[in-house]
């Protein structure tokens, strides 16, 4: 997959995972890598930093029962708006590709 396309898809997937729940970085990284095993850990954390810098996520820190402090990520209202826009754009792309007759599954 093209790097730019993958970046956008990964951003969308990360925000979607944070839509209804707060997750700590490693937990989020594992769930994304289950679907995209070729994606490096560092790539996911880079996207998380970018999403946070853009105001789409917020970070809280909590003690871990068995290890260092964990950073928990949650989506902001701005992030929810961005996710909605991104999903609409994604669905439009899929619709157009399907209209050409290309299989998407």
Phi-psi region of 67 (alpha: psi -120 to 50; beta: other; left: phi over 0): left
Higher-pLDDT residue of 103 and 88 is 88
Number of domains present in the structure of the chain: 1
In a domain, 10, yes or no: yes
Residue spans of beta strands (DSSP E) within 1-105? 23-24, 57-64, 67-75
Mean pLDDT of the chain: 90
Look up the pTM and report it: 0.85
In a domain, 8, yes or no: yes
In a domain, 68, yes or no: yes
Cα(52)–Cα(54) distance, integer angstroms: 5
* CATH code for the domain in which residue 11 is found: 1.10.10.10
In a domain, 101, yes or no: no
In a domain, 16, yes or no: yes
pLDDT at res. 63? 87
- Asked if the model's pLDDT at residue 32 lies above 80, the reply is yes
Question: Cβ of 105: how many Cβ atoms within 10 Å?
Answer: 3
In a domain, 28, yes or no: yes
Domain of residue 12 covers 3-95
């Amino acid at each position: 997959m093209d790097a730019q396309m993958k970046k956008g898809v990964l951003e969308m997937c990360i925000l979607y995972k944070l839509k209804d729940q707060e997750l700590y970085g490693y937990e989020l990284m594992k769930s994304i890598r289950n679907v995209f095993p070729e994606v490096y850990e560092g790539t996911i954390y880079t996207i998380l930093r970018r999403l946070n810098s853009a105001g789409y996520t917020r970070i809280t820190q909590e003690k871990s029962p068995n290890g260092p402090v964990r950073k928990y990520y949650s989506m902001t209202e701005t992030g929810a708006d961005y996710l909605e826009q991104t999903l609409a754009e994604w669905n439009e792309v899929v619709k157009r590709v399907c209209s050409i007759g290309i299989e998407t599954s």
